[in-house]
């Protein structure tokens, strides 16, 4: 019995980019592109019928904001996980997308390897944020001088900060345990403590909190 393929639907008004993406994803044995469109209206209709596993959604669409489609996704296809793709890296767009339920955020000029990895991670239930933001965040979490400190950050232990680093990179509990040489139970205990200290409910809220509270300094352009 062959493994289940990840069913993907693409919404992007740039025809060349969209068709190139279809071609690249079609080469992956575990992917199946079930449809694509550049139209907001066609996308709404297709999502209601097809119920893909993954939606790749451009943040800008003709006559509409891609994030508007994201707002309607729970009613159109509640099990679909959305990854927002953008032409330029805009922090506010990323935060808004994640608030609206996106599970990933990518810029179009990222590598093919990262694009494919993001889709697989999000399908597996993880959260993915683009590389520039993650690198900036990790730089701040590593304690480089000159970063603005959120008051709540001082409440976290060094080990809890290490766990946050790995959560933001979408590592699962088992992988975090292996990297830090601790048990999965200990990882869960650290996560519970982190959630309680920061007043967040889950990994997604933790990731958003870290960005919104400026646990990092923006990377220089």
Q: Domain 134-212: give its CATH architecture.
A: Orthogonal Bundle (1.10)
pLDDT exceeds 70 at position 11? yes
pLDDT exceeds 80 at position 83? yes
User: How many whole angstroms separate alpha carbon 75 and alpha carbon 62?
Assistant: 22
Structure-model confidence comparison of residues 48 and 217, the more confident one: 48
Q: What is the predicted pLDDT for the residue at 59?
A: 86
Return mean pLDDT, the chain.
82
| Residue 219 backbone class (left: φ over 0; alpha: ψ -120 to 50; beta: rest) | beta
pLDDT exceeds 80 at position 118? yes
- 100 φ, ψ (degrees, to nearest 5): -85, 0
Mean pLDDT within 46-50: 92
Same fold across 6-128 and 134-212:
no
Q: What is the predicted pLDDT for the residue at 152?
A: 57
Find out whether 216 and 130 touch, Cβ atoms under 8 Å: no
Instruction: For 149-193, give the secondary structure using H, E and C.
Output: CCHHHHHCCHHHHHHHHHHHCCCCHHHHHHHHCCCHHHHHHHHHH
Domain assignments of the chain as residue spans, ordered by start:
6-128, 134-212
Mean pLDDT within 156-163: 89
Instruction: For 78-102, give the secondary structure using H, E and C.
Output: CCCEEEEEECCCCHHHHHHHHHCCC
Fold of 6-128: Rossmann fold (3.40.50)
């Amino acid at each position: 019995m062959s493994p289940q393929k990840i069913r993907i639907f693409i919404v992007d008004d740039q025809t060349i980019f969209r068709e190139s993406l279809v071609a690249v994803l079609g080469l992956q044995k575990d992917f199946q592109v079930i449809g694509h469109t550049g139209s907001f209206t066609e996308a709404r209709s297709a999502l209601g019928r097809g119920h893909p596993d993954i939606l790749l959604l451009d943040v800008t669409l003709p006559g509409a904001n891609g994030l508007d489609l994201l707002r309607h996704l729970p009613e159109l296809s509640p099990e679909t996980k959305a990854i927002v793709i953008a032409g330029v890296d805009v922090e506010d767009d990323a935060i808004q997308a994640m608030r609206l339920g996106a599970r990933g955020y990518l810029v179009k000029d990222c590598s093919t390897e990262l694009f494919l990895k993001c889709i697989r991670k999000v399908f597996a239930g993880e959260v993915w944020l683009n590389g520039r933001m993650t690198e900036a965040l990790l730089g701040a979490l590593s304690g480089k001088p000159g970063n603005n400190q959120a008051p709540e950050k001082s409440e976290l232990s060094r080990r809890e900060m290490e766990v946050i680093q790995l959560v933001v990179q979408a590592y699962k509990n088992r992988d975090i345990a292996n990297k830090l040489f601790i048990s999965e139970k200990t990882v869960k205990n650290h996560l519970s403590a982190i959630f309680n200290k920061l007043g967040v409910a889950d990994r997604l809220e933790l990731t958003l909190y870290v960005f919104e509270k400026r646990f990092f300094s923006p990377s220089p352009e």
